[in-house]
Each structure stands twice: as C-alpha cells, then as structure tokens.
C-alpha cells in the first residue's frame, strides 16, 4: 500500500510526544448515523456493512471488520424529543454486529427517531 508511515512515537514541534499506540487504540473503529423514520437508511458510517430494522426503534448494525471480542465500548446518541425522556441503548454486543434500541418513556418502548448515532471503540479481530 502506497504512502505507508511507520512510527512508534508522534512528537510535536514543542517536543511533547505520545506513543502511536495511544492514537490507534483510542480511535473509533466503527460508527454510524442513521435515519430511523420513513424508509430507514444509513446517512454515513465507518466499518458498517448493513443496518437491520427489527421493529420500531430496534436495529442491528453489522460490521465489516469484526471486533476481536464482545467487550468493546459503545456510545450512543439520538435526537428524540427530551419531553419524552428518550434515549438510545445497547441491546447486544457481538463481534460482528451491534444491536441497539431507541426508546422513550418509563416503559422504554422502542420508538423511531430521525437521528440515531453510535460510536464504537475497542480492538479489532
């Protein structure tokens, strides 16, 4: 592959340095932004192959480059109206996919939101 850079350490002009592994390990390995209303679709993503619409508010994002194990970290965000106490959560971590749910209210009923985002950090297989 052209343009390869091999470096164990990154250093600023002021002399501060950091191991390259910090940058690699701290980078998001997968993320997605999806529209869960109308005919659902992925707006943009990294390392995703498909989105499965299970039911209202419940989806699975499948990965192209699998995670090494099921202990990767996920952060989520949605634009559900705060009046409904809406949120988005993890249902299942698998190495090849993430099942997630967008919900509102005390009963945590799955619901569709126009913006659903998740970002995933961890080691890849």
Partner 1 sequence: MNTPEFQGTHLWLRLGWAKESLEAYQSDYRVVYEDSVDECAKILVPDPNWMAAAMQGGILPPVWVYWELAKDEAQPDFKKHTRGYLLHDTQPIEALDEKSAIEYLIMKDINPSIWMNWDEGNRPKMVICKKQQLPQTREWRNAWRISDELAA
Binding site for partner 1 (CB under 8 A): 1-2, 29, 32, 36-42, 44-56, 62, 64-66, 68-69, 94-97, 110, 112, 124-125
Q: Which residues contact 98 (CB under 8 A, 6 or more apart)?
A: 30, 60, 61, 63, 74, 90, 92, 118, 120
Answer yes or no: are the C-beta atoms of 73 and 26 closer than 8 Å.
Answer: no
Give least dist CB 13 to partner 1, A. 26
Nearer to partner 1 (CB atom), residue 17 or residue 124: 124
Nearer to partner 1 (CB atom), residue 17 or residue 105: 105
**Hey, how many other C-beta atoms are within 10 angstroms of the C-beta on 95?**
15
Give least dist CB 9 to partner 1, A. 20
Give least dist CB 15 to partner 1, A. 29
Give least dist CB 102 to partner 1, A. 12
Among candidates 77, 109, 107, which has minimal Cα distance to 90?
A: 77
Nearer to partner 1 (CB atom), residue 29 or residue 100: 29
Backbone φ and ψ for 98, nearest 5 degrees, come out as -130, 120
């Amino acid at each position: 592959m052209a343009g390869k850079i091999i470096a164990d350490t990154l250093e600023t002009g002021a002399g501060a340095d950091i191991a390259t592994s910090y940058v690699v390990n701290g980078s998001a390995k997968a993320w997605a932004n999806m529209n869960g209303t109308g005919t659902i679709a992925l707006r943009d993503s990294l390392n995703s192959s498909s989105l499965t619409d299970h039911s209202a508010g419940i989806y699975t994002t499948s990965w192209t480059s699998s995670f090494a194990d099921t202990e990767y970290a996920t952060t989520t965000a949605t634009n559900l109206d705060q009046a409904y106490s809406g949120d988005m959560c993890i249902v299942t971590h698998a190495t090849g996919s993430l099942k997630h749910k967008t919900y509102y209210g005390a009963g945590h009923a799955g619901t569709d939101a126009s913006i659903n985002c998740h970002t995933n950090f961890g080691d890849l297989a």
